[in-house]
């Protein structure tokens, strides 16, 4: 059904204020329209579908009850903000979701005052919201702060560090736990649901407050009665709401579980939470992919998906990619070596480990969204003789920097890191670009880093890492598939390769995905040769020997410039007294905005024509 088939309440929603005049029936219809609009848009742009379809009613209820941006909403991870964007003045711009110069798939303050933080990583919302709430209190400002966090994000330790502080700091804080997968609570059926309805009603809350005020006016006896009622109330809740004891022990008033797709129940619970002057936790149950059958049936596939056919739900693109090649190779190696085991931080499918999980369940570990734990857990496995392989997106590995140094490198342990989505990642934008791993991994002592250009190199480097290298190894590879590397070049496990006549004056240096582009450029350049680096840390000193006669050196890499491979090579050349001019084409101190990967490569001067122009212009200027 197209959105035009509805009365189109959404057409008249231009800000959260427009929700205030709608009744519950109209709000329910609005949710249907929003859900359809999201499906239509994401089918054309790609994005996070299942999670957004699950929070439509919740987001509508939040904007009905609260007054954004005076009441501040912090979304965790941030990818489930589509309804929020539609309701906060970006309805028409929503069609540009995740496109170049369009709106982001995550919350971004530069887009709207209703987006409080730029958000792309999990488990941060409660800490952020707690800080916001405390600042409001210190400054005497009115307004609530609401953290919306999913059960998946509650597998990250940072969330619990923040929850542990809420009793002390979070007077006007509300935490919404969106439970759409794992069961946080065990409750006693209809009795639990009935008492939740009673406890979140305005009448009950008002009555309880009046009774407490009346008793407080009675000397001595009133206080004793109040304490007795509180004791009985607590015992009753603990006998019915098993999970409430955890949150209430942390200082929260707990309400739930609430049906996250029932507008009336949600509004009632949120109104009650809003009336409190101490931390409140509202636990809701939702269905990922709600309202779109393919997403409900396969929420993992529709968590983050490219363009797809609405009628069938089938992706419009697919095929092999570096992630699947990595997983396939691991399965082949694990079949012959029982020491090999795999770890994922809630990304088994995204990192290509689904087959491994199925074939070797006793050697596969999904630790949840807990990268720090994943790395330290791997150190324990390695210490006792296993060969752990942690497959993780580049952007998420940076969350475990301390563990890389302290629990891996300092211990001298053999752990393999499959650094997926390295380099430009495209439409996910600033928070997800894999442009920092080279620089921060370069600072880790004794770390080996490889950069394959195709699937064959990936497989060979993985085998070499497991059976020949000492200590920790990172193999970084890009998002998506690999073009066929030039036929005459075969990786022979050497640290680098010189391609062409090294007596020529100009040299192009690159690694990984950029090799194919640079080789194609080389074919159109008369006075240049190429160095392909395979092991980018530590750099083999013989690379400097190969550059001794070069007059102009051009280094291309998809990395932040500071601390990158090009920076290291530049220092080595200077130390050896090589006088060639050195041009480093990389990302200079900025976050890469959303666009397709091909456009990002072009924007930053790393496409074939840019390589050609860089070399030709350099030769002309220095002639």
Catalytic residue numbers read 288, 371, 399
Tokens of residue 572, six digits: 């080595």
Q: Which positions ≥6 away from 260 have C-beta within 8 Å? A: 54, 55, 57, 58, 178, 180, 266, 284, 285, 286, 287
Among 474, 462, 478, CA closest to 408: 474
Using CA atoms, how far apart are residues 107 and 118, in angstroms rounded to an integer? 5
How many alpha carbons fall within 13 Å on the CB side of residue 242? Answer: 7
Residue 79 and residue 55 in contact, taking contact as beta carbons nearer than 8 Å:
no
CB 27 within 8 A of CB 60: yes
Interior/surface letters 282-301, b for 16+ CB within 10 angstroms, e for the rest: bbbbbbbbbbbebbbeebbb
Tell how far CA 616 is from the center of its chain.
40
d(CA 112, CA 14): 13
Q: Can you tell me which residue has the tokens 């041009």?
A: 583
Kindly give, in sequence order, each residue whose CB lies less than 8 Å from that of residue 563, ignoring residues fewer than 6 positions away: 438, 439, 440, 442, 443
CB 440 within 8 A of CB 563: yes
Distance CA 278, CA 175 (A): 11
How far apart are alpha carbons 138 and 127 in whole angstroms?
A: 17
Alpha helix positions (H), 482-596: 514-522, 542-546, 565-575
CA dist., res. 618 & res. 508, Å (int) = 12
Q: How many other C-beta atoms lie within 10 A of the C-beta of residue 452?
A: 27
Pairwise CA distance, residues 349 & 368, whole Å: 13
**From the CB of residue 498, how many other CB atoms can be counted at a distance below 10 Å?**
16
Of 13, 45, 36, the closest CA to residue 26 belongs to 13
Handedness of CA 105, 110, 114, 116 (dihedral sign): positive
Judged on CB neighbours under 10 Å (0-12, 13-18, 19+), 271 is middle
Tokens of 85: 């964007």
> Which DSSP string do the residues of 144-157 spell out, in sequence order?
-EEEEEETTGGGSH
d(CA 394, CA 26): 44
> For residues 153 and 346, is the Cβ–Cβ distance under 8 A?
no
- The set of residues, in sequence order, having a beta carbon less than 8 Å from that of 183 and lying 6+ positions away, is none
Which helix (H) or strand (E) segment holds residue 235: the answer is: helix 221-240
CA angle 596, 597, 602 (to 5 degrees): 100
Q: How far apart are the first and last CA of the chain?
A: 66
């Amino acid at each position: 059904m197209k959105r035009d088939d509805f009365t189109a309440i959404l057409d008249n929603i231009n800000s959260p204020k427009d929700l205030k005049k709608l009744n519950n029936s109209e709000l329910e219809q609005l949710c249907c329209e929003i859900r359809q609009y999201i499906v239509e848009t994401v089918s054309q742009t790609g994005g996070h579908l299942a999670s957004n379809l699950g929070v439509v009613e919740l987001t509508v209820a939040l904007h009905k009850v609260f007054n954004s941006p005076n009441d501040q909403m912090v979304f965790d991870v941030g990818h489930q903000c589509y309804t929020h964007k539609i309701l906060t003045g970006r309805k028409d711009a929503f069609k540009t979701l995740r496109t170049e110069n369009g709106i982001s798939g995550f919350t971004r303050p530069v887009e709207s005052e209703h987006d409080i933080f730029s958000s792309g990583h999990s488990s941060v919302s409660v800490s952020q919201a707690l800080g916001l709430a405390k600042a409001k209190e210190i400054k005497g400002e009115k307004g609530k702060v609401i953290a919306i966090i999913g059960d998946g994000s509650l597998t990250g330790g940072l969330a619990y560090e923040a929850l542990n502080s809420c009793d002390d700091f979070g007077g006007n804080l509300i935490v919404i736990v969106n439970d759409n997968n794992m069961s946080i609570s065990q409750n006693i059926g209809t009795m639990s649901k009935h008492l939740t309805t009673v406890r979140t009603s305005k009448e009950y809350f008002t009555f309880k407050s009046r009774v407490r005020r009346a008793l407080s006016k009675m000397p001595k006896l009133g206080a004793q009665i109040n304490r007795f009622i509180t004791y009985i109330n607590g015992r009753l809740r603990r006998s019915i709401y098993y999970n409430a004891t955890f949150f209430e022990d942390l200082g929260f008033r707990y309400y739930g579980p609430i049906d996250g797709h029932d507008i009336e129940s949600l509004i009632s619970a949120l109104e009650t939470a809003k009336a409190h002057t101490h931390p409140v936790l509202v636990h809701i149950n939702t269905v990922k992919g709600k309202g779109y059958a393919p997403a409900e049936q396969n929420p993992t596939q529709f968590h983050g998906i490219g363009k797809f056919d609405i009628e069938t739900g089938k992706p419009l693109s697919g095929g092999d990619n570096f992630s699947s090649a990595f997983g396939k190779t691991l399965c082949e190696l694990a079949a012959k070596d029982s020491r090999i085991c795999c770890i994922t931080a809630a990304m088994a499918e995204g990192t290509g480990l689904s087959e491994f999980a199925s074939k070797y369940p006793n050697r596969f570990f999904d630790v949840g969204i807990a990268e720090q734990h994943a790395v330290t857990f791997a150190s324990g496995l390695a210490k006792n003789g296993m060969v752990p392989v942690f497959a993780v997106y580049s952007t998420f590995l940076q969350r475990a920097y301390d563990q890389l140094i302290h629990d891996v490198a300092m211990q001298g342990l053999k752990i393999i890191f499959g650094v997926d989505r390295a380099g430009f990642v495209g439409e996910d934008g600033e928070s997800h670009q894999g442009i920092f791993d080279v620089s921060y991994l370069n600072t880790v002592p004794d770390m080996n880093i490889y950069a394959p250009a195709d699937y064959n190199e990936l497989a060979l480097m993985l085998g070499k890492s497991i059976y020949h290298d000492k200590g920790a190894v990172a193999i970084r590879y890009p998002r998506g598939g690999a073009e066929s590397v030039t036929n005459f070049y075969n990786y022979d496990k050497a640290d680098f390769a010189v391609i062409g006549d090294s007596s020529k004056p100009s040299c192009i240096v690159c690694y990984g995905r950029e090799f194919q582009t640079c080789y194609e450029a080389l074919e159109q350049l008369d006075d240049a040769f190429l160095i392909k680096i395979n092991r980018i840390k530590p750099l083999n000193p013989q690379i400097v020997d190969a550059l001794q006669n070069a007059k102009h050196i051009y280094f291309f890499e998809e990395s932040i410039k500071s601390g990158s491979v090009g920076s290291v090579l530049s220092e080595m050349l200077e130390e050896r007294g090589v006088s060639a001019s050195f041009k480093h084409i990389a990302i200079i101190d900025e976050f890469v905005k959303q666009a397709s990967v091909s456009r990002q490569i072009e924007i930053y001067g790393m496409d074939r024509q840019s390589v050609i122009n860089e070399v030709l212009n350099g030769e002309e200027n220095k002639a």
